[in-house]
Amino acid sequence: MASNEEELQSGGDGYTDMFWNIFNEVFSNPLNVILLAISSFLFYKIMTSRQTPRPQHVAEKEIPRMKKKDMTIEELRKYDGTDEDGRVCIAVNGKIFDVTRGKQFYGPGGPYAVFAGRDASRALALFTVKESALKNEYDDLSDLTSAEMSRMQEWEMQFTEKYDIVGKLLRDGEQPTEYTDSEDESSPNGDTDKSSGKDGDSSLHKDDTKSQ
């Protein structure tokens, strides 16, 4: 009868043989080696991603509704998003819109930052983001074609649906309207639920790059 030591030795040799058979089976086939490497890499990525702390999202501070006020071209230039409150306003077809909620598009560094604090009417009519289309004085748009005016008015409608109208753009010598507190508190467009301004503001940039 075999001793306990002999049985243990015999069992150990069996396990060793089985291990080497598996090892040879895996590593003798290049495809198995590749699959094993991929699996190991994926396992590593999964484990490290679980251990890496995710940055916490910091809610952006909302600024209060802007009081209604009419502005000249020069006064509008102040609202380009570079002030402490980050307010951004744009004029379209004589209306001034507070587009601060969409400042990822219109604020500093955004694809339409060139429009911030400016009358964007002509640029929108021409479908361009070139600064040369922006004027430093009141633009009556009288030289635009009917097609260009129609295109600009379509943009005006989109802005009206998404952003608050906070006043009108004044001609030279025109007196501003005195707005009451009730007019300031109510939504200028008769709609208190505006969209976030995160969608639908990219078509102009795409089309303009095609034309350049």
Q: Are strands 89-92 and 95-98 parallel, antiparallel or unpaired?
A: antiparallel
DSSP 169: B
Residue partners of 198: CB distance under 8 A and separation at least 6? 102, 104
Residue type, position 115, single letter? F
* pLDDT by residue, tens only, the chain of 212 residues: 555 545 545 555 555 666 666 666 666 666 666 767 777 777 777 776 666 555 554 455 678 899 999 999 999 999 999 998 999 999 999 999 999 999 999 999 999 999 999 999 999 999 999 999 999 999 999 999 999 999 999 999 999 999 999 999 999 999 999 998 766 655 545 454 555 555 556 566 554 444 44
Report CA-CA distances (Å) from 170 to 43, 57, 74, 127.
64, 41, 10, 24
For residue 124, the model assigns a pLDDT of 97
Beta bridge partners of 43: none
